Each structure stands twice: as structure tokens, then as C-alpha cells.
Structure 1
Amino acid sequence: MPHYTAPTKDMQFVLHEMLKVSEQQITGYGDLDADFTSAILEEAGKIAMDVTAPLNVVGDEEGCVLENGVVRTPKGFKEAFDTVAEGGWMGLDMPEEYGGQNMPYIIQTAVGEMLSSANMAFNMYQGLAHGAMSAIVAHGTDDQKETYLPNMIAGKWGGTMNLTEPHCGTDLGLMRTKAEPQDDGTYKVSGQKIWISAGEHDMVDNIVHLVLAKIPGEPDDIKGVSLFIVPKFLVNADGSLGERNALSCGGLEKKMGIHGNATCVMNYDGATGYLIGEKNKGMRAMFTMMNEARIGVGLQGYAQGVVAYQNALGFAQDRLQGRDVTGAAAPDKPADPIIVHPDVRRNLMDQKAFIEGARAFTFWGSTMIDRAHRAGDKDADDLISLLTPIIKGFLTDKGFETTVLAQQTLGGSGFTREWGMEQFVRDARITMIYEGTNGVQSLDLVGRKLGLNGGKTVMGFFELVKNYIKDNGDHAELKEHFLEPLKAASKDLQAAGMYFMQNGMKNPNNALSGSYDFMHLFGQVCMGLVWSMMAKASYDALENGASDTEFYQTKIATGKYYMARHLPVTRTHLARIETGADTVMELDAANF
């Protein structure tokens, strides 16, 4: 049976020593002292370890069942959901006036990592509701907020986002779902949506669906898409639940992983809907959820790597096979634990260096969201917009890869269900697909985000890296092991961007064929930056006489590994990008 341990100590290090959250000039951050965040993380960690993690295998083995239009979730899910709701965990960063705790998004991120590692399928139910709440907060009327948010924040009602249809996914301009205007200002929504996570389940009294649809007579493309609140049960004027709306779950998908989450086909048959946001501006409102979801999915990707690594490490410390080539490490035993072997060490170091860097990268991104929303910082808003496809695409690619490495650590045991590793692999795989496939993320990065503000945002990122290197260049060890590799990687990234500028205009395929490599190149530079930041914090702690020297020395050693063994891949990505589109596009479609 796999286990999970909440990594609260490392989270505290990232929050307080790398990011220094309580010193940042962001509303609410002054309250985030180490004692306060420790109390929150420790309590959330207990829920993750004691309440939701034990249900991870249960959810995978039982799955969800559709019975008479109702989806039955796995045994124990309802009770666990109630426990999470009663603790106020669903509204951590939601407005206090509707029952939330108004904490910064960075706290939501830290708690979300633990709950995702413990039981990804279970956490998706509240994750989808959180996205819907965020959209209502940002775009809903006062009446809509008062009608839906209190019960959603309390965990009494759920929420979803409905985009994809059987014939269209990424190209939402092709959608056929219609919203017919009614005399009373409502709309009748008709159509079918697929792959709707948490679309129907038995853990809440109502589910608030946010549905993209087109209003007849409006532009018949993406410019004519609007967003609608379509609740499972209509809500009476006094807040009580009224009649059942004309919508239903038409089926459950049979999937590779996340069996504990209900992935539904949703049918809307003239269901009553309410416009949220402006007419024909549905994508703008939906992107409030999608951008949050994409960062959340990036978090899911590395969070599965976290729990997989923990189990791989435990196995490597206990499994006896062979002898250390330099001499028996455990002479009193018939063989040495496999962690003594260099290739197993390489495998584990790849995992450890990634997940710790990914956590720092995601937490850093979360501070940008807080800076944008709580401090009105447009530069921060633009920067996180640039980094969002990287957080989603790069971290989920590498997160899945990490679960495979962890599975490999166990050898044949990793391929059996008994040890649980194959579930982490299966669950992590979806993160590379939903909320926009990683190929789409790379196209978004190169096709849209690089040109943000006429290129000023990406140039601002380069300047940020350059200034960090310059400001810390007087530290000899940091410079040698971290800043010089970071400088070289950043130059590769800039060279790739220059190639796109010089060659992408005359032939867009030159840019698009290199977009996936560019996303990974950019992700590596971001990881190099945050590892440099963590190394600096660790050197500072040691120089200031920190008592836990082993922790900081371990952090520095792990960072050195990443910078030496992983960051040089930026040269390979650049070389691929500079080959252009010729070899990619040479074959005719018929010759594949």
C-alpha cells in the first residue's frame, strides 16, 4: 500500500526563506508569518495524510457508477468531502463576505499540492468548484455572487466548467451548444458537453455548471461565444433549491486513470441558464477558470511526482539487491539496499531535483497571481500570463516522467498494482492532456504569449534573470554552480526567441515547429532560476549559523545536481529549434 507524507518543511522553506512571503508588499502577506503558515500546512497535511490519501486506492479500484441519473462516488468519498468542507478548506482564498477566508492564493496553492498528491481524483471535485467560484467572483453580478458563492464555498454545492463537445475541443468556435434568449432574461441552453470533470456526483446538493454556448443571431465563431450559469437545481428567491433543471449526465467515461473522479457526458435539453459576464465575451470569462485550472494542472503534474518519489525512495532504502561496488554498505545483511547503486541514485536525484524545483516554480508563480490581484500589479499579471503555459506544459510533462522514473525504481514491483506506483503513472498522464494539451500550451506560448505587450513581457523576464545574476554575482559558490549555468541557459532561450523573430515571420511553421522545444527550454530556465534562488537562501542560512545544516546542505547538493545534469539540455532544445520547419514539414500527409 503506498503512503504519503506532507512535505511541510520544504514548503515552509520555499515560503519563508526563498520567497520571504511575509516581507512582500502584497495585501494579506504581512499575516503570513512562519507560525501562521505552519499551523495551516500542518493541519492540511493531516487531512491529506489521514483522510484523503487512504481513499486513493479505493477510488481507483471502485471508480464511479452512474445509477438512474445519479453518479455514485467511491466508498468514503462523501464523508471525506464533508470533512474537507467543514474545515473551511474549499474557500481559503475566497471573499470573506461569502464565507471564505480571504487568504492569499499562495496558501491555496500549498494546500492544493498536498491534497493533489494525497488523492488527485478526489481533490478534483473541489478544484473544479474552486474554478467556477473564481469565475463568478470575477465576472458575476452581485446577485449571482450572493446566490451561488456561499453554498459553493461551504462545500454544499459543487461547480464545473463545460467547454468541450464531441466534435470540437481546442477549436471552440465550432461549438454547437445554443442559448436561446427568453423574455424573462434567462436563456434556454441546449447541447452536449463531454469530458466534464465532476459533472455529476452524490457529494453535494447542487452543482453549478458554467457552460459555454452561442446565442442565435450572434457571430457564429469564437467571437459569438457566451458563458452561462446553469445549475443542476434552480435556486428560489429565498435561496432554497427549486425544481430540477433540464440537464443530465448521459454517461461516464472509462478512463486510463483518475477513476475516482466522475468524467461525465452532460446533456442540456433547454436548461435554464443565466448569462455571466458580457454577451459574446464568454471566452474572457472562461479564461478566468482556464488559467487558474492550467496552473492547477501543472501543480497536479508535479504533485503526483511528489508522492511517487516518496514511495520510490522508501523502496530504494529497504530493497536489498547486490553490493555497493566500492564495498559492502550493509555487511551484516545478505545484500545492500539498492539506493547504494549509482544508477538508482541518478533515478532518485532526477525525481528529487525536479519536484523540489517544480514546487518552488509554482509557488513563485502563485505570488505573481497574488501580486496581480491584491496589489494591482499589471507587470506581475503579464508575467504569470506568459508563464502559465510553461507551468502547465513543462511541469506536467516532467511530472509524468517523474512518476515513470519512480515506477522504474521499483523494477517489476512498480508494474504491479500492489505497490500503487502504476496508479500514480496513470493518474499523472491526464495532466498532459486536459485544460489544453501540452502541444496547445506550446503554441499558446509561442503564438500568443511571446508577443504580449509587443514582446516587453518576455524581455522583462530576461531582464529579471539578468539582474538576479548580476545582483548575486559576488557569491563565488553560487556563481560557479548556479549563476553561470543559469546565464548560459538564458542565452539559449534568448537565441531561440531571436530565431523565431528572424525566421517565424516569413514562415510561421519555423516558429510553430519549434514551439514544444521552446516551452521546455523556457521551463528549464525557470527551474534554473528558482534553484538559484533556493541555493542562495540555503547559503545565506548556513552563513548565518542555521542549526539544521543538513537540510540546507542537501538543498544545495540537489540544486547543483539539477544545474549540472538537467539545465544543459537547453542547448539541445535550441539546436532543434534552429533546424526550422523543413524536416518537420517535408513529408506529404499521405506518406506518414
Structure 2
Amino acid sequence: MPTYNPPLRDMQFVLHEVLKVSDDFKQIPKHADIDADTINAVLEEGGKFAAEVAFPLNISGDAEGCKIDQTTHAVTTPKGFKEAYKQYIEGGWAALGCAPEFGGQGLPYVVNGSFYEMLNSANQAWTMYPGLTHGAYAALEAHGTPEQQATYLPKMTTGEWTGSMCLTEPHCGTDLGLMRTKAEPQADGTYRITGNKIFISAGEHDMTDNIIHLVLARLPDAPPGIKGVSLFIVPKVLVNKDGSLGERNGIYCGGLEHKMGIHGNATCQMVLDNAVGTMVGQPNKGMQGMFVMMNAARLGVGNQSLGLTEVAYQNALAYAKDRIQMRSLTGPKAKDKPADPIIVHPDVRKMLLTAKAYAEGGRALQAYCSMLLEKEHNHPDEKVRNDSGEMLAMLTPIAKAFLTDNGHIATNACMQVFGGHGFIKEWGMEQFVRDNRINMIYEGTNTIQSLDLLGRKILGNNGATLKKFGKLVGALVAEEGVNEKMAEFINPIAVLGEQMTKFTTEIGFKGFQNPDEVGAAAVDYLRVAGHLVFGYFFARMAQVALRQIAAGNTDPFYVAKLQTARFYFAKLFPETATLMRTARAGSKVLMDTDAVFA
């Protein structure tokens, strides 16, 4: 059976020693009193909930899955899920990052994000039920009317009601301009909505009395394509003017998807049969509200893979220390045993270090993105708000795609550490692999994220935002460039930072002549950009560790951090050279292949 220990020490290191979030909070009036002790106390209790309540249900929830009553369309979640959710809302965890005016605790995004990392390690399938509510909440907070906010947000804040996002249809996934769901206006200002949605996570369940669906649909006179999509609130149960629940609405689960992983989460085929909805925002402007949900969800999906990377690493490390097989190539290490623990073997260490490095780099990026989100929404300086939003927009596809791709690499590596036992259900490793696989697909596949990064976020503004990130790298290089102890961490990012300008310009020029060149290079380009970002944060983490050691701190944590950083730069970061070469290989070898597919 797997185990899980919340990585509180590393979270504290990233938040307080590397990013120094409390200093930023002092510049944000609503968070000026938030200090390290407050953050640590919340995360310590959150870690207990994750490890003691959510984690024990992970394997059993996967084995049992969800069930649907085809007569009533009611969906039952695995045993213990409903009770765990009750503890979640009674503990106030649902309200952690929500606004006080709706009953929330108003804590910073980075605190909620760190809590959710632990929940994702513990039980991704269960965590998706409350997690999706945050996206729906954010969309209504940004685009809902005061009446809509007063009706729905207090209950979503407490967790009494959950939320879902209903986008995908059988014939269209990312290409939402193809959707067919119809919304007919009514005399009372509501709309009657009819259509079918698929792959709707947490679309129906037994954990709350109501589910607030945000649904994309078309008005009768809507223009074609994405410009003709509107956003609607479609509650599972209609809400009376006094806030009480009324009649059952015409939206229900027509079936559950049979999936590779996340079995404990209800992935629903949703039927809208003359359902009553109210519009969010303006007609034909639905994507504005939906993108609020989608961007929040993309960061959340990256966080899911971060959580799975961490828990897979912890269990693979424990197994590698315990499992004895063969002798070390340099001679016996456990002379009192018939064989050595497999952790003595170089490639086992490589697999473990890969997972550890991807977890620690991902944690730093996630926390940084959360702080950018905080500044974008709440910083008093308009320039800081705008700059933070711009940087976050560029980093979001990296956080989604790079972290989930790395999660795939890491969970598979950790399963490999177990050998044949990793392929057996009782150890829990194969579930981490299966659960992670969807993260590379939903909320926009990783190819879509790569096209968004290269085509829109970088080439779309002639690399202006990339240059701003390059200045962060340049400032660190200038600060530590003459420090010999930092050379192994600084030199690689200095070189790649210089290469990125030429690399980007070259891809952009070829793409101007033939757009397929962007499509052919995008996935490789995103991984190069991801390594530049990770390299920057690993250099900053190494900087802190070296300074602590120089000051006489004997905590082995800092030595371990340096060793992980050295491994990352020596064994993982060099992937960038291959990626730039394959990206430059162009589209011809992909597109001039009709004979292959004839």
C-alpha cells in the first residue's frame, strides 16, 4: 500500500526563502497581515486533511468507481467520498481562497494552490469535485451580475454547492466554434437550453444538493464559429428567489464514461433537455467568461501532475531503499544482506532524481504563477497588475503542458523503480500513471498549449513577454555570474537565454512563410521554454541553498537541494539541445508524407 507525507518543508522553502511571498503580500492591502507562520499553520492542517482523509480513499475509489442509476440518472460516488467532502466543507477548506464578501476566508491564491497540490497527491479523482468549483466560482466572480453572484457564490464558497464546466460535445473538443447546443430566449429573460455535452468532470454526483453548471451554447441568431458562443448558468436544481431549492432542472447525466484513470471522479455525458439557464456576460461573448475557468483549470491541471509526481516519488524512494536486488557495481554496500538495496544502482537513482527534480521545479513554477495571479487581481499598482497578467498568460501553457508531460515521465519512471511490482495494483504506482495520463489531454491538449505559447503568447507580440522573462534570467546571471560556486547553475541558463532569441526568431520567420512550421516546432519549443523556466528557478533555489550553507546552516535539506539542482542541469536540462534541433528540422518531413498514409 502506498503512503503520503505532505512536502511541507519544501513548500516552506519555495514560499518563504526563494519567492519570499510575505514581502509581496505587504504590498497588497488585503494580504498585508499574512505572514509565514499563518501560511505554515494552514498548510500543516491542510496536509493532515490530505494525508488522513483524502489519501486513504484513493485506491478504494479507483477500484469501486462511480455508478449511475439509469432510471433516475443519479450518480453515486465511491464509498467514503461523500463523507470526506462533508469533512472538507466543515473544516472550511472550500472557502480558503474565496472572497470574504461571499463568506470566504480570503487567503492568497498561493496558499490554496499549495493545499490543492497536497490534495492532488492524496486523491486526484476526489479533488476534482471541489477543484472544478473554483473555476466556476472565478468565472462568476469576474463576469456574473450582482444578482447571480448573490445567488450562487455564497453556496459555492462554503462548498454546499459545487460547479462544473460544460464545453465539450461529441463532435467538438477544443474547436468550440463547432458546438451545436442551442439556447432559446424566453419572455422572462431566461433561456431554454438543449444539447449534449460529453467528458464533463464532476457533472453529476451525490456529494451536494446542487451543481452549478456553466454551459456554452448558441443563440438562434448567433454568428458562426467561436464568435457565436454564449455562456449560461444552468443549475442542476433551480434556485428560488429566496435562495431555497426549487424544481429539478432539465439537465441530467445520460451516462458515465469508462476511463483509463480517475475512476473515482464522475466523467459524465450530460443531456440538456429544455433546461433553464441565465446568461453570464454578453450575448455571443461566452468565451470571455469561459476562459476565466479554462485558465484557472489549466493551472489546476498542472498542479494535478505536480501532486502525482510528488507522491509517486515518495513511494518509489521508500521502495528503492527497502528492495534488495543484486550488488552495487562498485562492491557490496549492505554486507549484512544477500543483496544491496536497489537505490545503490545509478539508473534507479536517475529515475528517482528525475521525479524529484520535476516535482521541485514544478512546485516553484506553480507558486510563482499563483503569486502572479495574486498581483494581477489585487496589487494596487496598475503597471504591476498588467505586467503580472502578461507574464502569467505566457507561463500558463508551460505550467499546464510541461508539468503534465513531466508528470508522465516521472510517474512512469517511479513505476519502473518497482519493477514488476509497479505493474501490480496493490502498490498503487500504476494508478498514478493512469490518473496522470488525462492531465496531458484535458483543458486543451498539450499540443494546443504549445501552439498557444508559441503562436499567440510569444510570436503574437513579437517575443515581448519572453524578453521580459529573459530580463529576469539576465538579472540573476548578472548577480551571480562571477560566483564560481554558482557557475554550474548560472552558465546553462545564460547560454539558453541567449539561444532563445535566435531560436524564436528563426521559427517565427519560417512560420511567417509557412504556418505549418509553427505547428511542427511548437511542442518541442514549449519544452525548451519549460526548461528555461525550470532552470531559472533551480538556479534561484541553488542560490538560496549555497547562501544558507555559507552562513553555517547544517540542515541537510540545503545539501539535498544543491544535489537535485546539479542532477537537473546535468541530466535533464541538456534535453534542450536535442529539442532545438528537432524543432528546426521543420514541417516538410511531417507534411510531405502522403504516401505513408495512403
Bin for the TM-score computed over the shorter chain: over 0.9
The answer to whether residue 530 in structure 2 is matched with residue 523 in structure 1 is yes
Distance 2:230 2:538 in 1: 42
Aligned residues: 590
SS of equivalent to 1:310 = helix
For 1:147, the aligned partner's letter is T
Partner residue of 1:238 out of 242, 248, 251: 242
Residue in structure 1 matched with residue 153 of structure 2 by the alignment: 149
Distance 2:49 2:200 in 1: 26
Residue 542 of structure 1 is aligned with which of 533, 540, 549? 549
Q: Tell me which residue corresponds to 1:555.
A: 561
d(CA) in 2 for partners of 1:132 and 1:247? 17
Structure 1 residues 383 and 185: alpha-carbon distance in aligned structure 2, compared to 1, 3 A threshold: same
Whether the aligned pair in 2 keeps the contact of 1:247 and 1:269 (CA below 8 Å) is yes
Distance 1:527 1:311 in 2: 24
What residue in structure 2 maps to residue 195 of structure 1?
199
State the shift of 1:547 in Å.
4.3
Q: 1:126 aligns with which of 123, 126, 130?
A: 130
Indicate conservation of the 8 Å contact 1:23/1:29, yes or no.
no
Q: Higher mean Cα deviation, 245-254 or 570-579?
A: 570-579
Matched residue type, 2:567? Y
Q: Does 1:392 align with 2:406?
A: no
Match of 1:19 in 2: 19
Task: Within 5 Å, give how 1:450-529 maps onto structure 2.
Answer: 450-478=458-486, 480-529=487-536
Change (3 A) 1:499 1:552: same
Q: Which residue among 405, 409, 422 is the counterpart of 2:417? A: 409
Do the aligned residues in 2 keep the contact of 1:316 with 1:338 (CA within 8 Å)? yes
For 2:244 and 2:597, how far apart are their aligned partners in 1?
Answer: 61
Separation in 2, partners of 1:392, 1:259: 22
Residue 284 of structure 2: which of 253, 264, 280 is its match? 280
| Residue equivalent to 2:584 | 578
Instruction: Give the TM-score of the pair, scaled to structure 2.
Output: 0.97
1:493/1:570 contact within 8 Å kept? no
**Within 5 Å, which residues of 2 pair with 1:191-340?**
191-340=195-344
SS in 1 for 2:448: helix
1:427 to 409, 415, 435: 435
Q: How big is the shift at 1:57? A: 0.5
Q: Is the 8 A contact 1:446 1:515 kept in 2?
A: yes
- Separation of aligned partners in 1, 2:226 and 2:87: 41
SS at match of 2:255: strand
State the 1:423 CA deviation: 0.4
CA shift, 1:451, in A, is 3.4
The aligned residue for residue 53 of structure 1 is 55
Q: Which moved more, 1:577-586 or 1:188-197?
A: 577-586
Pairing 1:376-391 to 2, within 5 Å after superposition: 376=382, 377-391=385-399
Are residues 113 and 27 of structure 1, via their aligned partners in 2, closer, same or farther at CA, if it must alter by over 3 Å?
Answer: farther
Quote how far apart the aligned CAs of 1:544 are: 2.6
Q: Does structure 2 retain, via aligned residues, the 8 Å contact 1:214–1:220?
A: no
TM-score by length of 1: 0.98
Residue 349 of structure 1: how far off its partner (Å): 1.1
1:454 shift after superposition? 4.5
1: CA distance, partners of 2:227 / 2:165: 19
Give the Cα–Cα distance (whole angstroms) in 2 for the partners of residues 435 and 396 of structure 1. 12
Residues 538 and 552 in structure 1, CA contact (< 8 A), matched pair in contact too: yes
- Give secondary structure in 1 for the equivalent of 2:451: helix
1:538 is matched by which residue type in structure 2?
A
- State whether residues 495 and 574 of structure 1, in contact with CA within 8 Å, keep that contact through their aligned partners in structure 2: no
Is the 2:237–2:248 Cα contact (8 Å) retained in structure 1? yes
Task: Give the match's secondary structure for 1:532.
Answer: helix
Distance 1:195 1:159 in 2: 15
1:10 and 2:17 correspond: no
Separation (CA, whole Å) in 2 of partners of 1:307 and 1:361: 18
3-state SS of 2:538 partner:
helix
Alpha-carbon contact 1:195-1:265 (below 8 Å) kept: yes
Please report how far the alpha carbon of residue 28 of structure 1 lies from its aligned counterpart in structure 2 after TM superposition: 4.4
* 1:533 correspondence with 2:540: yes
1:81, distance to aligned residue in structure 2 (A) = 0.3
Output one character per residue of 1:206-243: Cα deviation in whole Å (capped at 9) or x when no partner: 00000001111121211010100000011011100000
Q: Which digits, 9 at most, give the CA deviation of each residue in 1:429-460, with x for residues without a partner? A: 00000001111111111221113444321221
> Which piece of structure 1 moves more, 318-327 or 252-261?
318-327
Q: How far apart are 1:490 and its partner, in Å?
A: 1.9
Q: Is the 8 A contact 1:492 1:574 kept in 2?
A: no
- CA change 1:412–1:359 in 2 (3 A) is same
Distance across 2 between alignment mates of 1:209 and 1:8: 34
- Conserved in 2, the CA contact under 8 Å of 1:349 and 1:558? yes
Letter in 2 for 1:504: G
Alpha-carbon distance in 2 for matches of 1:465, 1:102: 32
Structure 2 portions without partners, runs of 5+:
none
CA distance in structure 2 between the aligned counterparts of 1:56 and 1:499, rounded to whole angstroms: 47
Q: Tell me the residue number matched to 1:65.
A: 67
Q: Is the 8 A contact 2:459 2:508 kept in 1?
A: no
Residue 32 of structure 1 and its aligned partner are, at CA, apart by 3.4
Contact 1:298 1:395 in 2 (8 A): yes
Aligned equivalents of 2:582, 2:183: Cα separation in 1: 46
Q: Deviations over 1:20-56 (max 9, x none)?
A: 0111133445433221111011100000110000000
Shift, 1:294, TM fit: 0.4
CA distance in 1, matches of 2:320, 2:253: 44
Amino acid at match of 2:281: G
Does the CA-based 8 Å contact 1:317-1:339 persist in structure 2? yes
Instruction: Work out the CA distance in 1 between the residues paired with 2:328 and 2:143.
Output: 61
SS of 1:69's partner is coil
The superposition leaves residues 121-146 of structure 1 with CA deviations (integer Å, 9 ceiling, x where unpaired) of 00000011111011111111111111
Distance 2:429 2:136 in 1: 32
- Separation in structure 1 between the aligned mates of residue 361 and residue 53 of structure 2, nearest angstrom: 27
C-alpha displacement at 1:315, in angstroms? 0.3
Q: Say yes or no: does 1:42 pair with 2:44.
A: yes
Q: Distance in 2 between matches of 1:163 and 1:28?
A: 34
In the alignment, the residues of structure 2 paired with residue 180 and residue 297 of structure 1 have an alpha-carbon distance, to the nearest angstrom, of 33
Alpha carbons 1:28, 1:104 under 8 Å: kept: no
Letter in 1 for 2:49: I
Kindly indicate whether the alpha-carbon contact (under 8 Å) linking 1:199 and 1:263 is maintained by their aligned counterparts in 2: yes
Q: Which moved more, 1:444-453 or 1:166-175?
A: 444-453
1:303 is aligned with what amino acid? G
SS at match of 1:100: coil
Mapped to 2, the partners of 1:122 and 1:60 lie a distance apart of 10
Quick check: 1:437 aligned with 2:445? Answer: yes
User: Does 2:164 match 1:160?
Assistant: yes
Structure 1 portions without partners, runs of 5+: none
- 2: distance between equivalents of 1:42 and 1:590? 56
Does 523-532 or 30-39 show the bigger shift?
30-39
Q: In structure 2, how many angstroms separate the alpha carbons of the residues matched to 1:517 and 1:27?
A: 41
